Amino acid sequence: MNRYLLTTTGIPALTLLAAVIWSLTILGELPDPVASHFGADGTADGFSSPLTLILGLAVLGVFLLALFAAIARSGFTSGTSARFMAGIGAGSVILLAVLLALMLDAQRGLTDATAATLDGSLPLAFGIAAAGGLLVALLARPVVTETPVPEPAEIPLSDTSRAVWFGSARVSGWILVVFVTGAVVILMAAVYMLLDTQWLLAAVLFISFLPLVALTGVHVRVDAHGIHWRLLPGIPRRTIPYSAVTGVSVVDMRPGDWGGWGWRLGPHGQALFFRSGEGLRIERARGAAFHISVDDASHGAALIRAYLDS
């Protein structure tokens, strides 16, 4: 396990484990049920059994640890963005641990949990979590891996010869799970609204469903007429003629540089981003550069250059 992953998960994991162990040792001093939720004024307004509260927060903490560990392994982040994500993940888990300890400590020796108050403990919990997240962000050392970008081979074209290249890219792994889950939830909600004759809300949800389906993949074709791309359902689609192209290169694309997946705007220009790795950077005569994450980008770039030179 590299130092980055150990730091981002190890410190919050130890904090959560310490809070859970301590909570289990004071079970006999707690009322049953205990206050499990407090309002903004610090008074108890939700209750559950002590063991349910402890195990529930522990499971939630483990889930968050696993989620941010997966993000760290996936290459989603790099550099400053990796430190930021490390701090957010660690701070979230530390907040759960501190809240668990503060809530139960406020109820030790009580016979009725309705008398429990947190008073000024909530700002304290958020302050400790923020400090812990900042500490992890400072200690984290993201692993920087240099991904070699293959230089496009030359493809000679005569005045009479023609060639076509096809490429594609799709979201996969846990990102695909998120997309599919979101699409299913939206579709089910739309159907429910439709059956409930709430036409406007149903229409809005159906319209929201379409981008999730569209932004799961892209197909790219390079031929004598230009660079053609279309999203997975076939729409939207665009053609970039060679008259509008000033250059092309192969780049290593990472979600941390674009702030996520899908159709993105950033300091580097526009991007259709679906998976980490090589992609095309298309320099345009007007407007910002256009990036497309696509398999076998080196051969696509080589053919584009050949058509630009012919």
111 and 157 part of one domain? no
Rounded CA Rg of the chain? 26
The answer to whether the beta carbons of residues 282 and 245 sit under 8 Å apart is: yes
In which band, very low, low, confident or very high, does the pLDDT at 10 lie, cut at 50, 70 and 90? confident
Residues 183 and 204 in one domain: yes
pLDDT at 272 over 70: yes
Please compute the mean of the pLDDT values over residues 83-99 and round it to a whole number. 80
Tens of pLDDT, residue by residue over 60-90, are: 888 887 777 666 555 444 445 566 667 777 8
Q: How confident is the model at residue 149 (pLDDT cuts 50, 70, 90)?
A: low
Domain housing 234? 153-167+217-310
Q: Is residue 308 part of a domain?
A: yes
Whether residue 229 sits in one domain with residue 195:
no
CATH number for the domain harbouring residue 292: 2.30.29.30
Q: How far is CA 42 from CA 52, 98, 108, in A?
A: 21, 15, 16
pLDDT band at residue 156, thresholds of 50, 70 and 90?
A: low
Distance of alpha carbon 102 from the chain centroid: 30
The overall longest dimension of the chain from CA atoms, in Å, is 91
Q: Give the CA dihedral 292, 297, 300, 301, nearest 10 degrees.
A: 80
- For residues 99 and 151, what is the distance between their CA atoms, to the nearest angstrom? 53
pTM score, two decimals? 0.50
pLDDT at 137 over 80: no
190 and 161 part of one domain:
no
Q: What is the 3-state secondary structure (H, E, C) of the chain?
A: CCHHHHHHHHHHHHHHHHHHHHHHHCHHHCCCCEEEEECCCCEEEEEECHHHHHHHHHHHHHHHHHHHHHHHHHCCCCCHHHHHHHHHHHHHHHHHHHHHHHHHHCCCCCCCHHHCECCCHHHHHHHHHHHHHHHHHHHCCCCCCCCCCCCCCCCCCCCCCCCCEEEEEECCHHHHHHHHHHHHHHHHHHHHHHHCCCHHHHHHHHHHHHHHHHCCEEEEEEECCEEEEEECCCCCEEEECHHHEEEEEEEEECHHHHCCCEEEEECCEEEEECCCEEEEEEEECCCCCEEEECCCHHHHHHHHHHHHHC
Of residues 255 and 225, the one with the higher pLDDT is 225
What's the CA gap between 233 and 237, in Å, rounded? 10
Query: Is the pLDDT score of 33 beyond 80?
Result: yes
Are 178 and 163 found together in one domain?
no
pLDDT digits (tens, 9 = 90+) for 213-244: 666 778 888 888 888 888 876 777 888 888 88
**Of the given ranges (110-114, 158-162, 267-271), which has the lowest mean pLDDT?**
158-162
Quick one: 162 and 59 in the same domain?
A: no
pLDDT for 76 equals 46
Mean predicted confidence (pLDDT) in 168-173: 73
Kindly state whether residue 112 falls inside one of the protein's structural domains. Answer: yes
Q: How confident is the model at residue 22 (pLDDT cuts 50, 70, 90)?
A: very high
Answer whether residue 145 is part of any domain: no
Q: Are 52 and 160 contained in the same domain? A: no
Query: pLDDT category, 1, cuts 50, 70, 90?
Result: very low
Contact yes or no for 227/245 (Cβ under 8 A): yes
Across the range 271-284, mean pLDDT stands at: 82
d(C-alpha 180, C-alpha 272), whole Å: 18
Do residues 30 and 15 both lie within one domain? Answer: yes
Q: Are residues 209 and 234 in the same domain?
A: no
AA letter at 277: G
Comparing 43-52, 128-137, 164-173, 255-264, the range with the smallest average pLDDT is 255-264
Whether the per-residue pLDDT at 144 is higher than 50: the answer is no
Identify the CA nearest to 159 among candidates 300, 305, 306.
306
Strands 277-284 and 165-170: unpaired
Q: What are phi and psi of 56, to 5 degrees?
A: -65, -45
The percent of residues above 90 in pLDDT, for the chain, comes to: 1
The whole-number average pLDDT for the span 256-272 is 72
Nearest CA to 129 out of 16, 18, 3 is that of 16
Say what the pLDDT of residue 112 is. Answer: 83
Q: How far apart are CA 183 and CA 234, in angstroms?
A: 18
- Residue-level pLDDT at 77: 47
The partner residues of 278 in beta bridges, in order of sequence, read: 252
